[in-house]
């Protein structure tokens, strides 16, 4: 009995343990913004994913790889048509040792090419900091902490990315003095306040295809769109998962009603 009790306690403690490590000292909790794909019935906003892809392609891809995503995934996810994906893939050149030049235009089956050949190259080009691969970043970085908080609000991965992109501030006077060379003050960054990435977005940096000519996209919009896109890259099958979960719930509900009716019938003459 004692053993059982201690097992139960251990289980309870395990369940209450934070899902992720604690926040870095002084790290600000990510801004609470909402996305179309959140909640039990949320689906991705395809137009937003198209814009987010453009932001990744034109801005982030110069430094950050996205190794786990192939061009064809964009068609499978219903973000672009097969024709569009062919054209997008063909617009980049990928390494291929079997060709004479060692390179060829991309095909839909190719994964996104990495901007740097080795980690050392990436480090050298970025003042010693390695730009992490972005494929799974919204699953790898929580925006806030606490088991209950994460259970109710999700881990806040896309909010973390959004907050880092929009979170550059002037360093408080007491910290400004110790600013490391080439680093920028950003209290949302998960590894201390100083980030080795200069603010990558500026107003109008990306021209949106679904907006009228001359429209100047704000940093806020671009940050939100690319964060939504990175939620999709981290879990492209999210909608199927939610749908399946919903079907299972309906099935269980119907099954419970049937069981109840059967039980009533079997025991009818016993009352």
User: Which residues in this chain contact ligand HEC in the complex, by CB under 6 A?
Assistant: 55, 59-60, 62-64, 126, 129, 131-132, 137, 141, 161, 164-165, 190, 195-197, 200-201, 226
Q: Which of 68, 92, 43, 86 is nearest to 228 (CA)?
A: 43
| Pairwise CA distance, residues 75 & 201, whole Å | 27
Please identify, using beta-carbon distances, which residue of 104 and 132 lies nearer to ligand HEC.
132
We find the least distance from the C-beta atom of residue 146 to ligand HEC, in angstroms, to be 19
* 167 contacts 187 by C-beta, under 8 angstroms: yes
Token pair for 7: 């097992």
- Dihedral in degrees, nearest 10, Cα atoms 179, 182, 188, 191: -90
Please identify, using beta-carbon distances, which residue of 88 and 107 lies nearer to ligand HEC.
88
Please identify, using beta-carbon distances, which residue of 74 and 137 lies nearer to ligand HEC.
137
Please identify, using beta-carbon distances, which residue of 55 and 75 lies nearer to ligand HEC.
55
Number of CB atoms found within 10 A of residue 109's CB:
9
Task: Output the CA angle 156-218-154, nearest 5 degrees.
Answer: 10
Please identify, using beta-carbon distances, which residue of 70 and 137 lies nearer to ligand HEC.
137
We find the least distance from the C-beta atom of residue 133 to ligand HEC, in angstroms, to be 10
We find the least distance from the C-beta atom of residue 183 to ligand HEC, in angstroms, to be 7
We find the least distance from the C-beta atom of residue 254 to ligand HEC, in angstroms, to be 44
Please identify, using beta-carbon distances, which residue of 75 and 164 lies nearer to ligand HEC.
164
We find the least distance from the C-beta atom of residue 31 to ligand HEC, in angstroms, to be 13
We find the least distance from the C-beta atom of residue 156 to ligand HEC, in angstroms, to be 12
Q: What is the CA radius of gyration of the chain?
A: 24
* 48 contacts 223 by C-beta, under 8 angstroms: no
Residues 6+ apart with CB under 8 A from 155: 19, 20, 139, 142, 143, 144
């Amino acid at each position: 009995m004692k053993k059982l009790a201690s097992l139960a306690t251990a289980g309870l403690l395990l369940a209450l343990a934070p899902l992720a490590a604690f926040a870095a000292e002084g790290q600000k909790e990510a801004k609470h913004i909402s996305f179309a794909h959140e909640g039990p019935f949320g689906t991705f906003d395809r137009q937003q994913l198209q814009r987010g892809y453009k932001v990744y392609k034109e801005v982030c891809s110069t430094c950050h790889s996205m190794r786990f995503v192939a061009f064809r995934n964009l068609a499978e996810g219903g973000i672009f048509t097969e024709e569009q994906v062919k054209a997008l893939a063909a617009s980049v050149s990928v390494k291929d040792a079997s060709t004479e030049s060692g390179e060829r235009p991309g095909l839909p089956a190719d994964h996104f090419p990495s901007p740097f050949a080795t980690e050392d190259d990436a480090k050298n080009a970025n003042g010693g900091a390695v730009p992490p691969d972005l494929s799974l970043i919204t699953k790898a970085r929580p925006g806030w902490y606490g088991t209950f908080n994460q259970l109710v609000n999700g881990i806040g991965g896309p909010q973390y990315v959004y907050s880092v992109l929009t979170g550059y501030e002037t360093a408080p006077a007491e910290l400004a003095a110790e600013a490391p060379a080439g680093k920028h003050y950003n209290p949302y960054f998960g590894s201390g306040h100083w980030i080795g990435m200069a603010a990558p977005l500026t107003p109008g940096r990306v021209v949106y295809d679904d907006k009228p000519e001359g429209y100047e996209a704000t940093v806020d919009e671009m940050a939100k769109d690319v964060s939504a896109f990175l939620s999709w890259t981290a879990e492209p099958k999210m909608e199927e998962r939610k749908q399946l979960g919903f079907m299972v719930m309906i099935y269980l509900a119907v099954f419970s009603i049937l069981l109840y009716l059967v039980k009533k019938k079997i025991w009818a003459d016993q009352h």
